[in-house]
Structure 1
Amino acid sequence: MFTETITLQSTHYKDFQDLYDFTVDKDNFTGAPYFLLHNSKFYGESEENLRKVFEQADKNSPSIIFIDEIDAIAPKREEVKGEVEKRVVSQLLTLMDGLKSRGKVIVIGATNIPNSLDPALRRPGRFDREIELGVPSKQGRMEILQIHTRGMPLAKDVELDKIAEITYGYVGADLNALCKEGAMHALRRVLPDMEAMREDKPIPQDVLKKLIVNKEDFEYALKMVEPSAMREVLIEIPKVKWDDIGGLESIKQELKEVVEWPLKRPESFTKLGIRPPVGVLIYGPPGCGKTLLAKAVANESGANFISVKGPELLSMWVGESEHHVRDVFRRAKQVAPCIIFFDEIDALVPRRSYGSESNVTERVVSQLLAEISGLEDLHDVVVIAATNRPDIIDPALLRPGRFDRQVLVPTPQEKSRYEILKVHTVNVPLTKDVDLKKLAQDTEGYSGADLEALVREAAINAMRRNLDADIVTNRDFAAALKYVKPSVTEDMNAFYESIMKKRKAQKIEEEVSYTG
């Protein structure tokens, strides 16, 4: 029994099942009547509906009122246009203030977007206490898996602790779905044997013995069930490995050190008393593999991957762009370990300058700086950004503690071009007269994308000679070389080299008056 006259709680939640279990447990503890209210039952109707709910709870006190998705009936009044919505919010505030004289009535509000609630609701005397039900830890995931598999016949090769370790970002409902999907996969394996049986006969023991959920079933389920927090932003990571990227060995090693190591071996950084880098900026000419490198390091590190193109976050509406930035980081924290990849970041955070046109840019830069600085105390979120215009990125982002590492991806040297050609011709049948080393010598200044285009053009040339061609010859490559020219000029290479020298010498010139 609650001894307080009133306790008001607002719960932000990621998973309805977790929240429902939480509130039901509290109900069982108090022995109080429980009023579960979904907003759809009264949203858009008159304030009378709210009054009836509170009156019913008062008559049955001590009792609990649970308002699910409270943000739908109590949004910020300055952001809604309808008078009905504003009156409902005012009525809710009045009813909650009146609870002080009504005795033991507990109000629990649930939302996954607490910042959209009217601020008046979050004042002391109304929702006094806010509890965040976050994404479960490894130990929490282990306990949830044990609950959902306790009645399930598991094979000896199923290691729940290993599953708990790799299901970072999964909430209770996700893990429940994972276990169900694993069981369904096991059922599909024995379904042919069951279909041959008559409905009026019991299932034979030899068939029942096959109904065991094994490691393979869970591996299949992991491919089918993803963290619910990632469903709006998660992109499928191409199965790109380091070996699939020709050359660039020193750059690969640097990315391993600043991205892979912190995510795979965080304890090593803790032992040495240092914090790993928060952000990595990859810059260089177009077509040199910046995006491919980011995807490869995400795949190799085994982390969740959120990819965002800079222009996608920009909005003409005041506050929307900053909201999009906050939302990306919020989701990354929920599903950590996670890599956030900002492609074309120069479009999102160009140098700030005076004038009304720069207002959106300044707000976005400030928001991004706040989010990245906030990551310093986290260990499992890394930000990678890619650009081919590092000179126009706001200098405040390039200081220590933000994008600590800035990696130049230049046009490949001869050895790297040979490795890239090997990668792109691995599935292309070549005649013996095709000398990839000679091709590497003849393609000075070609980027990775140029070399890929060269191989493709050679194959198309073979088809021009004979539509049924099944092999590419040296003559095809000679024709392709006349057609495919390097897309990166010497001036462009010199430009990026000068940027790298400035970065190393810490002589980045600031063209604005910002001193943050």
Structure 2
Amino acid sequence: MGDRDQAIKNQLNGENMEERKQNFSMRMEGLDSLFNEVKQLLNLEELAELASKIEEKAESGDLKTEVHFSARSNIPRQGNIPRSDRFSRSTRVSTTNDGDEVETSYTTNFSHSPQTGSSRDHSSRNTVRNSVRTTSTAHSAHSSASSSAHASTNQEQSKTSANHANDSKQTNQSQPPLDRTVGGLGKVLAQLRDLVEVPLKRPDILEKLGLEPPKGVLMVGPPGTGKTLTARSLADHLGVNYIAIVAPEIVGKYYGEAEKKLRQVFEKATKAAPCLIFIDEIDALVPNRTQVEGEVEKRIVAQMLGLMDGFASRSGVIVLAATNRPDAIDPALRRPGRFDREIHFPVPDRNDRREILAIHTANMPLAADVNLELLADQCLGFVGADIKGLCQTAAYGALQRQVVNLAQIPDRLVVNNQDFTDALKQIQPAVLRSLTVQAPQVQWSEIGGLETIKNTLQEAVAGALNDRELYDHAKAQAPRGILLSGPPGTGKTLLAKAIATAAQANFIAINGPELLTKWVGASEQALRQIFAQARQVAPCVIFIDEIDTLAPARGNYQGDSGVSDRMIGQLLTELDGLQSSDGILLIAATNRKSSLDPALLRSGRIELHLTVDLPAESDRLAILAVHNRDRPLAEDVNLDQWAGRTDGYNGADLAFLSNRAAIFAIRRHQQTRASDRQIALSDLKITSSDFEQALAELDQQRH
């Protein structure tokens, strides 16, 4: 019985095994059939072939591209592709600074003319190694071939001068005027267009004249002055391709990675010509090799030099680079044939600020009390980015003021003058913040006495900063430097601040001893930087207090390792380098004029010498009147009497006298109010006895 059961079991197992094999074979056949159906539906092979063709055309330059590099800036990193009626293409390469890992996405639109007999757009979609993406139809191969023929025709036609002119005209019509996009940089834009437009749009003109177009242009200026915006807007306006990279993102952690990324950028730009390469913060990419110790930085500099020398000047590629530290760039890059052109982006003046304000408020509903002319005067030292922030802050203030809750929104929102006034209190200009520049508000009326000196200084300010065209017309030379000498406390610093206020200029105050350091060359470098910063924020008044400690007569100090002599030499060099058009006025103050180096005081340097002596009685009366103008003086206070009793006192002493008299009056009022609560604030008066106590205290300090 057991043997028979075992035989039956074996038979059943064998049948089951055969059945399982048959079922498995049927399932595999079903899967193969399903896979073939899916393969036929998706047509992956055809799509992959089309994607490869598109990639080859892009690499060979037949397919124009818009190239995007990731960057920290919020400005779109893009370029414009001029379009024609018969064939339009829009290809975008979204890339990062990652060498071989660059991901590229091409989007092609083929628009056929009626002559081709097709009004449909044929496109395909697929993803391959370089992330090439299109849309799919059954006629994609025909569309690719047709578009290739159109592209070839356009390339042949673009070689003629007539089509060059038509392309330029069409581009200018499709783009807004450049000065409406970038405000306050009219001269800079004109220089850039002269350097870039003809080489990229009409290289045949330069070839006829035998001219070599520039390979690189270095844009120098403080942060926020519009260097990045100008580069991007210029590419958009000209209708050329645009590659923007941020220098620190190029540097990688692997050996040779940064150099490879740079080579790829230049290769892509050459294939996408005409093309602008924009390198932001180039000082971080190619620093001075004598000031760095790492080998990576030196290799990157060498690679950059090789790339700048390697591509042909007529390749249709121009490199724009931006920096606010030109001295930190390796000098080899700034020679002719590389970055041989440098364009400086200044801090906007009053008219430029007015133009920038008009651009940023063009779409704002401004109230009638908003005066852009007056607002431009109040934005002293603001760059373009600061003005944009000011307008945005004012608009948000208007929103908070008028919209209490989202359920009740007024039909009309306006930005008024108070919104801008409040915004001005919140926005501190970036340039002024980094340069510790002040915008003083000291009026001439706040300085008592010194009428002759004030009149002389007003003429000097008019010539050096305000009315330069009159001096130019009369061929007159305004003073570059003014020396205020006299005892301490006579108002020399106050006079310098009043000059800056009258000229609506920035004000850089320097104390002579603060520049002196123990490190060799550091003091001279600090002085150079001050004058460079003054040029950036011109018009500017540089005030050097205690200049006798900074520039004493040479040869008098033997134990300072020659620092004083080197500082004098550097100061003389900077003064000789000042031009009347720079908008810089140097004012120096000292109470030891005889100890200054004679070379500093000759004509053409610090040539206007004014002695600020102790005030006469009439001047003392004027000073006392200024300091007690708004104070509650009692009837027994006779300022004429106190002006006569303060012979030999300077302006600082008289300011101290007036202030201490007010403090003694406050102290007396507090004691009286402690015993009598009926005493009102209006009962507080500064009496003659208060001045007597203040004068006694002042005499004690003086002696």
The alpha-carbon deviation at position 168 of structure 1 amounts to 5.9
Shift in alpha-carbon separation, 1:184–1:423, aligned structure 2, 3 A: same
1:351 aligns with 2:553: yes
- Which residue number corresponds to residue 252 of structure 1? 454
8 Å Cα contact 1:57-1:64 kept in structure 2: no
8 Å Cα contact 2:225-2:346 kept in structure 1: no
One-letter identity of the residue aligned with 1:58:
E
Aligned positions of 1:53-452 closer than 5 A: 53-59=262-268, 61-62=271-272, 63-100=275-312, 104-136=316-348, 140-160=352-372, 163-164=375-376, 167=379, 169-192=381-404, 195=405, 197-198=406-407, 203=409, 207-209=410-412, 211-237=413-439, 239-260=441-462, 262-353=464-555, 355=558, 357=560, 359-378=562-581, 380-452=583-655
One-letter identity of the residue aligned with 2:403:
L
- Which residue number corresponds to residue 115 of structure 2? none
List gaps (5 residues or longer) in structure 2: 1-199, 204-211, 673-683
The alpha-carbon deviation at position 432 of structure 1 amounts to 3.2
* Separation in 2, partners of 1:464, 1:150: 55
Shift in alpha-carbon separation, 1:361–1:47, aligned structure 2, 3 A: farther
The alpha-carbon deviation at position 412 of structure 1 amounts to 1.4
1:27 aligns with 2:239: no
Residues 346-381 of structure 1: CA deviation (Å, up to 9, x unaligned): 222121217473622222222222222232332632
One-letter identity of the residue aligned with 1:336:
A
8 Å Cα contact 2:214-2:340 kept in structure 1: no
8 Å Cα contact 2:258-2:300 kept in structure 1: no
* Separation in 2, partners of 1:102, 1:419: 71
- Which residue number corresponds to residue 42 of structure 1? 250
Shift in alpha-carbon separation, 1:468–1:423, aligned structure 2, 3 A: farther
8 Å Cα contact 1:446-1:486 kept in structure 2: no
Q: Which moved more, 1:461-470 or 1:414-423?
A: 461-470
- Which residue number corresponds to residue 474 of structure 1? 688
Residues 121-140 of structure 1: CA deviation (Å, up to 9, x unaligned): 12333323333333446555
The alpha-carbon deviation at position 142 of structure 1 amounts to 4.4
One-letter identity of the residue aligned with 2:286:
A
Shift in alpha-carbon separation, 1:52–1:487, aligned structure 2, 3 A: same
The alpha-carbon deviation at position 311 of structure 1 amounts to 2.0
8 Å Cα contact 1:294-1:384 kept in structure 2: yes
Shift in alpha-carbon separation, 1:17–1:480, aligned structure 2, 3 A: closer
8 Å Cα contact 1:447-1:487 kept in structure 2: no
One-letter identity of the residue aligned with 1:279:
G
- Which residue number corresponds to residue 82 of structure 2? none
* Separation in 2, partners of 1:351, 1:486: 36
- Which residue number corresponds to residue 496 of structure 1? none
* Separation in 2, partners of 1:135, 1:463: 47
Q: Which moved more, 1:286-295 or 1:181-190?
A: 181-190
- Which residue number corresponds to residue 698 of structure 2? 484
Q: Taking every aligned residue pair, what percent have the same amino acid on both sides?
A: 44
Residues 312-359 of structure 1: CA deviation (Å, up to 9, x unaligned): 222332332222222222222222222221122222212121747362
* Separation in 2, partners of 1:37, 1:83: 22
* Separation in 2, partners of 1:431, 1:136: 50
* Separation in 1, partners of 2:638, 2:290: 70
The alpha-carbon deviation at position 71 of structure 1 amounts to 0.7
With structure 1 as the length reference, what TM-score do the two structures score?
A: 0.82
* Separation in 2, partners of 1:433, 1:159: 46
Secondary structure, counterpart of 2:585 in structure 1: strand
Secondary structure, counterpart of 2:302 in structure 1: helix
8 Å Cα contact 2:252-2:258 kept in structure 1: no
The alpha-carbon deviation at position 19 of structure 1 amounts to 1.8
The alpha-carbon deviation at position 54 of structure 1 amounts to 1.9
* Separation in 2, partners of 1:297, 1:488: 30
Shift in alpha-carbon separation, 1:260–1:228, aligned structure 2, 3 A: farther
8 Å Cα contact 1:35-1:57 kept in structure 2: no
The alpha-carbon deviation at position 69 of structure 1 amounts to 0.8
Residues 156-206 of structure 1: CA deviation (Å, up to 9, x unaligned): 4545455556656543223322322332333333133xx2x42xx7x3xxx
* Separation in 1, partners of 2:251, 2:224: 19
One-letter identity of the residue aligned with 1:120:
A
Residues 254-299 of structure 1: CA deviation (Å, up to 9, x unaligned): 2222225643433433343312222111111111111112222322
Secondary structure, counterpart of 2:448 in structure 1: coil
Shift in alpha-carbon separation, 1:383–1:223, aligned structure 2, 3 A: farther
Q: Which moved more, 1:470-479 or 1:304-313?
A: 470-479
* Separation in 2, partners of 1:238, 1:10: 34
* Separation in 2, partners of 1:6, 1:271: 36
* Separation in 2, partners of 1:481, 1:117: 60
1:10 aligns with 2:218: yes
The alpha-carbon deviation at position 216 of structure 1 amounts to 4.2
* Separation in 2, partners of 1:368, 1:230: 23
Shift in alpha-carbon separation, 1:487–1:349, aligned structure 2, 3 A: farther
Q: Which moved more, 1:397-406 or 1:52-61?
A: 52-61
8 Å Cα contact 2:242-2:277 kept in structure 1: yes
Shift in alpha-carbon separation, 1:154–1:298, aligned structure 2, 3 A: same
* Separation in 2, partners of 1:449, 1:168: 29
With structure 2 as the length reference, what TM-score do the two structures score?
A: 0.61
* Separation in 1, partners of 2:313, 2:650: 75
Secondary structure, counterpart of 2:588 in structure 1: strand
8 Å Cα contact 1:15-1:172 kept in structure 2: no
Whose RCO is larger (CA < 8 A, sep 6+)?
A: 1
List gaps (5 residues or longer) in structure 1: 490-516
The alpha-carbon deviation at position 396 of structure 1 amounts to 1.5
* Separation in 2, partners of 1:345, 1:130: 34
**Number of residue pairs matched by the alignment:** 479
The alpha-carbon deviation at position 145 of structure 1 amounts to 3.1
Residues 69-109 of structure 1: CA deviation (Å, up to 9, x unaligned): 11112111111233333333233333433435995544332
One-letter identity of the residue aligned with 1:91:
Q
Shift in alpha-carbon separation, 1:59–1:240, aligned structure 2, 3 A: closer
8 Å Cα contact 2:246-2:281 kept in structure 1: yes
Shift in alpha-carbon separation, 1:475–1:42, aligned structure 2, 3 A: same
Secondary structure, counterpart of 1:407 in structure 2: strand
* Separation in 1, partners of 2:376, 2:231: 25
